[in-house]
Structure 1
Amino acid sequence: MATDGSIIEKESDVSCLNPYMTETRKRLVIASFWVVVLLGLPLWWKTTAVYRAQLPFAQIDSWVDRKACQLTFPSTFVVHLASIADADPKAHNHPLDYPTIENAIAASVDQQIYQANTQQCVEFPLNIEIKEWRITSDIIDLLKHTSEQREKSTIGRYDIFLAPQLPAPTSTKRAHVKLGNDRSMIITLREWTTSDIEESTAAAIATLLQEERERVQSIACDNELRERSNLDGLRTMKFSPMYQMTFSLMNEDPSGLQVDWDIEDAVNTYLRPFMSEVSVISNFSVDSQIQHFAQLAVTPQYMERQKLPSYYYLTPETLPHFINSAEWNLASAISTYPTINFILYIPAQNKSPLRIHNSKGQPVRSNAFLIPRWGGIVIKNQPKALTASGALAFGKEDLKPFMEIFVAQLRTLIGIHDLKKIMSPLETSHEISYESAPQTAVTVTELDAVIKQRIAENIVNSIATLKSLAQLVMDIPNMVVLDHIRTEVEISLDSLEQACQALQQQDYMKALTHSISAIERSEKAFFDPTMVSMLYFPDEHKYAIYMPLFVPVSVPMIMAVVKEFKEARRRRKEAKSKTD
């Protein structure tokens, strides 16, 4: 019995130990599963997270707040005062106080330009230097004298030559101003006095700079960092280092007229010099085409006149709908750069002559119009007498008047302003004349103003693009930001800094180069395809993908832990009841 009893006791001990060993093993199994999950969650989170290189947000904010660098557009005017060797000292050779005249001219220019200006986002330092100009009393040909005194001209540096009108005044106005094509002007005064020197020089400088500075200031001081909304901004093409220029000859009715043109020779003769001159800002590629059956998208109205030829006409309200986008193939597949279109349109015989009316109901003499940020159109009516073959061929000389219109339209599209219109306010008190227009169709002074305007546009647009990029990255946490995006942003910021420093040193060409680099790099970063591909992949998508995997695994594990807690609580209660 004892033996049997001992055996029974051992079996009882084993039966008591087996449940304990089973519960321990079960807990270890549950714990091992949870350890794997807890260790795997960070790894899963890391492997499923998108890569985001750290962008220099602080630097971008400093440019947005205009704290990174003060934009300055300095100008230097070297005033050459005539000292006439053979003149009567009592009449025209009074000693002049140069420092006083310099300060008086600078103060007068500032007063005329900034009398209503309260914005300080951009500065326009003005430096006046006065030098003696030794000439003889024979000053009829002043250009010969000035050519010996002119220094190497750079953007922002101008020469003004002042002399009395000898032997006698030739104008009833205070002075005569002659503008050259090489950043120079000659002013001859009726009265050779200090006050006339100061007032005429200050008036000429202020008139030359005022409109240019207003345009630069309107761009640089845009608090919202957006494109201009004024008329000038709406007409001008957005900056691009390259433009695709397309010339199209549109023939509405080829059944009655066959057309052809020597556009290549005309472009090389009349347009190529202009494109070469403005290539410092943007380059151009040119192509041409001839399209037949070019039907209008609008119906011209008919003007019947007594004793005068009747004609068809288009009103200003219908001109925006002139382009038949559905049927005219004007899209360029050659380049991805912005396209500037120029169209020579020949209407059908039953719609000729076709003219354009202005807002006053009068025919436009050029029979041409401009479409802002798109291009220009010239309407050429069919001649009354055609050849027997019914063909019309435009040679180089025939295209000259049309090319002149196209060049004028192109000047407007790229932001060139007519120097004569700029200087027109000075005509009230001064007589103005101009040197012969260059073959390039743009003066150096006009080109300088465009360069300054483009520098301001590029800097502001670069800052605006970087601001949008930073805002986009912060608003969308799951957007991919690779290392090359950060590199492009850093290069753009560095180019902005170098452009600003170049402006302070009055090196406009260097500033233009860096501003172009800034806008190109910022747009390259903003439109990078690696970022756009993840724009619409929020966290909700990630959860939707992994929920079918995690839920089936996590529910049994959570239920096992809950069951184990309940079992442990039950055992504690049983153990407590036994002790009691």
Structure 2
Amino acid sequence: MTVSSKEGETSRGGPSQSTKISDKKDNDAIYRVYSALSFFFMLIVVGFPLWWKTTEVHRESLPYTEISSLNDLKLSFHVNAIVSTLDKSRGEDFIRELKKLFRTSEIYNINFTWVDADRALLGSMKSITDLELSSMSRLRPGEIKLLEIPGLSRFCPDQILVGQRRSIYFSTDASPLRMHDVLHKWLLQEETLVQTMKSLSSQTGERDYTSRYRLPPAEGYNLLVTAVNPDPESLNTSHWDLPQAISDYITPFLDKLSTVANFSLRSQWIYLTPLEIRPCRAPEGGFVLDAESLPQLITPLEKKLASHVSNNPCIQLLVYVPLCSESPLRLQPSDPSVSKYSGLPGYTMGFHSPRWGGLVLQNPTADACTGPQPVLVNPDWPSLAAIWLQQLRSLIGIPEHAPIARASIMPEPQAAVRLWEVDALMRIRALEQLLSARLTLQSLSALLEEISNIVIGKDVAEAVEAGVEGLHTSVEHLASGNLARGLSSARNAFLQAEAAFTDPSLLSLLYFPDDQKYAVYIPLFLPVMIPVVMSLRKMKTWISVLRTEKLKVE
């Protein structure tokens, strides 16, 4: 009984020692659970998103949809052609036939309008010069005037005469078909434009002859004129005024092309650079270099030209003074029918290389070579400049015009370029820059969509948007007949697209892909994550124990 009473007293007293220990263990378990939850919350809910956001690559939004839809832009050139005749019915019939002939044009939209010819002015003309001065009505770049001249045979034997400006003169018996050929092949150069469009659009199309020689589109071009004297002790060229010759002959030509591109002129002298190949003796006398040896002539000169003065393409124009032991030196082109500026059939005094430049020979005279030393070499600047200008025409993209029966072109002006040739070059340049800008933007868009960790900064995004806007603006201007603004917008689109594609910020994380990022950060996060994951396992066990006890109580 006594024992029973003591046991009862014990059961009615305070909590036993085992109960206190159990409660303490429960409290420690709860603290551990809360601690694990707090670590999980800070690491997974707060830390991981914060790390992900701070290590995220900054990418401005780009107009991907607009860039992908650039292929749907229909490029066309609107041309205003004014037909002026004495008889209105003949003029309307002439226009009707021309419209039929140009109906199948792939790239041109020509608007023919008729105006009455000035009879008094036509009757007062006495020469071709008066003919040109009479047509000095203000025509915008790209516009054409077709003027009927009764008795055109007084000035030329052909039915159609193309002037130096933007006018075409035709006789009363000129046919619309021949006029279509003149417009199509000479002034509008539609085949060159279509071929350029196909080659640039597919990147696999065959370029025509003019495109292979023409310099690529760029912001500007550097023109470097170099005089080469292989032996200054025996060849006296100290009296040459090379800068003045450039100013007299080349600067007026480039001024006419200021609307097409920006040109910077430089000149230099190179000494002690003889030919590394020995010319052969020609049957007619003197020495000759054949076409196969011309690349060997350029190679030693190219090393000393120092032409890399900017990022713009450089046009090389060289004049080489052969030694008396190699004079007179001539060049034999691959086509034996060529005989330019030499006076001898099958020979030439200069040649040009596609997208590089040209070279001209200035031989010392025989009397100078037999006289006292040093030999005085007098430059024939008009002849040298004539060859240089022909080379520049080919390099810039002004083709040699194929002959058309009963049609002719007035001789080149002193600046060696006609206004309608400048207009044709403006169309070609606008087309090249538009297609190049479109291709660049689409390539950049595909690259940025494929590689997600390339930084897209604000400058890149603004350049891309400006390029897309410039493309649309240029197409609108060209379709409305505003050639000057269309070319300006196309140039801006081209420059903006190139600036975006070559921006240095695009390369900042290009060679740090996601797998490398994970390889760097996993060793940092894994030691921290293991205890957290293990604690989650203990927390799971504790929760399961609580559920079991709850079920027992119930």
TM-score, length-scaled by structure 1: 0.82
- Equivalent positions of 1:553-564 (< 5 A) are 553-564=528-539
CA distance in 2, matches of 1:325, 1:146: 47
Deviation of the 1:351 alpha carbon: 4.8
Measured against aligned partners, the alpha-carbon deviations of 1:466-500 in whole angstroms (never above 9, x if no partner) come to: 11111111111011111222211122222222211
Instruction: Say yes or no: does 1:15 pair with 2:21.
Output: yes
8 Å CA contact 1:226–1:461 kept in 2: the answer is no
Measured against aligned partners, the alpha-carbon deviations of 1:84-126 in whole angstroms (never above 9, x if no partner) come to: xxxxxxxxxxx8354344212321x327xx4xx7xx5x34334
CA distance in 1, matches of 2:543, 2:201: 68
What SS class does the counterpart of residue 324 from structure 1 fall into? helix
What SS class does the counterpart of residue 89 from structure 2 fall into? coil
Among 82, 97, 103, the alignment partner of 2:96 is: 103
8 Å CA contact 1:146–1:161 kept in 2: the answer is no
Aligned residues: 535
Among 42, 45, 63, the alignment partner of 2:49 is: 42
Deviation of the 1:364 alpha carbon: 5.4
CA distance in 1, matches of 2:415, 2:306: 29
CA distance in 1, matches of 2:387, 2:301: 26
CA distance in 1, matches of 2:186, 2:335: 32
- Equivalent positions of 1:453-472 (< 5 A) are 453-472=428-447
Deviation of the 1:53 alpha carbon: 0.7
Among 56, 80, 85, the alignment partner of 1:81 is: 85
Deviation of the 1:269 alpha carbon: 0.7
Of 248-257 and 43-52, the range deviating more from structure 2: 248-257
Aligned partner letter, 2:55: T
Instruction: Say yes or no: does 1:515 pair with 2:490.
Output: yes
**Residue in structure 2 matched with residue 404 of structure 1 by the alignment:** 386
8 Å CA contact 1:228–1:234 kept in 2: the answer is no
CA distance in 2, matches of 1:472, 1:300: 51
Deviation of the 1:509 alpha carbon: 0.8
Aligned partner letter, 2:221: Y
Aligned partner letter, 2:112: N
Instruction: Say yes or no: does 1:186 pair with 2:182.
Output: no
Instruction: Say yes or no: does 1:390 pair with 2:374.
Output: yes
Measured against aligned partners, the alpha-carbon deviations of 1:5-44 in whole angstroms (never above 9, x if no partner) come to: 7779521210121222222111111111111111211111
CA distance in 2, matches of 1:225, 1:409: 27
Assess, with a 3 A threshold, how the Cα gap between structure 1 residues 530 and 392 changes in structure 2: closer, same or farther: farther
Assess, with a 3 A threshold, how the Cα gap between structure 1 residues 508 and 41 changes in structure 2: closer, same or farther: same
Aligned partner letter, 1:165: G
8 Å CA contact 1:177–1:188 kept in 2: the answer is yes
Measured against aligned partners, the alpha-carbon deviations of 1:524-562 in whole angstroms (never above 9, x if no partner) come to: 111111112222221122112212211211122223333
CA distance in 2, matches of 1:468, 1:559: 49
CA distance in 2, matches of 1:531, 1:249: 42
**Residue in structure 1 matched with residue 215 of structure 2 by the alignment:** 237
8 Å CA contact 2:286–2:326 kept in 1: the answer is no
Instruction: Say yes or no: does 1:345 pair with 2:320.
Output: yes
Deviation of the 1:442 alpha carbon: 0.4
CA distance in 2, matches of 1:526, 1:402: 41
Deviation of the 1:185 alpha carbon: 2.4
What SS class does the counterpart of residue 92 from structure 2 fall into? helix
What SS class does the counterpart of residue 104 from structure 1 fall into? helix
8 Å CA contact 2:82–2:144 kept in 1: the answer is yes
**Residue in structure 2 matched with residue 432 of structure 1 by the alignment:** 408
Percent identity of the aligned residues? 25
- Equivalent positions of 1:559-570 (< 5 A) are 559-565=534-540
8 Å CA contact 1:378–1:402 kept in 2: the answer is yes
- Equivalent positions of 1:144-293 (< 5 A) are 144=130, 147=133, 151-165=137-151, 175-189=158-172, 198-199=176-177, 201-209=179-187, 212-221=189-198, 222-224=200-202, 229-254=207-232, 256-260=234-238, 261-293=240-272
Deviation of the 1:563 alpha carbon: 4.6
Deviation of the 1:55 alpha carbon: 0.5
**Residue in structure 2 matched with residue 322 of structure 1 by the alignment:** 297
Aligned partner letter, 2:526: V
8 Å CA contact 1:253–1:347 kept in 2: the answer is no
Aligned partner letter, 2:77: F
Cα root mean square deviation, aligned = 3.4
Assess, with a 3 A threshold, how the Cα gap between structure 1 residues 412 and 462 changes in structure 2: closer, same or farther: same
CA distance in 2, matches of 1:481, 1:365: 57
Aligned partner letter, 2:98: I
What SS class does the counterpart of residue 55 from structure 1 fall into? coil
8 Å CA contact 1:105–1:128 kept in 2: the answer is no
Deviation of the 1:130 alpha carbon: 4.7
8 Å CA contact 1:78–1:131 kept in 2: the answer is no
**Residue in structure 1 matched with residue 116 of structure 2 by the alignment:** 131
Of 359-368 and 7-16, the range deviating more from structure 2: 359-368
Aligned partner letter, 1:374: W
Aligned partner letter, 2:353: I
CA distance in 2, matches of 1:97, 1:292: 65
Structure 1 stretches lacking a partner, 5+ long: 84-94
**Residue in structure 1 matched with residue 342 of structure 2 by the alignment:** none
- Equivalent positions of 1:511-550 (< 5 A) are 511-550=486-525
CA distance in 1, matches of 2:302, 2:439: 37
What SS class does the counterpart of residue 337 from structure 1 fall into? coil
Aligned partner letter, 2:420: T
**Residue in structure 2 matched with residue 552 of structure 1 by the alignment:** 527
Aligned partner letter, 1:35: F
CA distance in 2, matches of 1:508, 1:546: 57
Aligned partner letter, 2:448: V
Assess, with a 3 A threshold, how the Cα gap between structure 1 residues 186 and 545 changes in structure 2: closer, same or farther: same
Deviation of the 1:244 alpha carbon: 1.3
Aligned partner letter, 1:127: F
TM-score, length-scaled by structure 2: 0.86
